[in-house]
A = this chain, B = another copy of it.
Amino acid sequence: MLDALGDPTRRVILETLRTGGPCSVGGLAERVPVSRPAISQHLKVLGAVGLVQHESRGTRNIYRVHQAGLGELRSWLDQFWGDALQAYADHVQRTEEGK
């Protein structure tokens, strides 16, 4: 999941799909400065973690962003966020006690 988002090119692909809407593989290859096979491989990774979804229309595959993977990231972030706040509160607590 976060591994998939770790690559800059994959983020560009996601951003392209997000702002430009659903797009074919060839279409993405025109907008993103890498070869078509590279796009294909990245889409495979993004699809494996549920960040994109594809739909066959004729010979072309239309890819779009998908929320499935985002949910996992969101819950992870929410938990992390809560714990970070808690940790900060504890830290302030101890600091206040020790002054």
Contacts and interface: CB of A to CB of B under 8 A. Distances in A.
A18 interface: yes
A90 B19 CA distance: 13
Contacts of A19: 83
Interface size class on chain A is: 20 to 34
Contacts of A46: none
Interface-centre pick from A5, A7, A64 (highest chain B CB count, 10 A): A5
A21 interface: yes
Given A21-B90, A66-B88, 14 more contacts: A2-B2, A2-B6, A2-B11, A3-B6, A18-B84, A18-B87, A21-B87, A22-B87, A22-B91, A64-B87, A65-B83, A67-B84, A67-B85, A73-B77
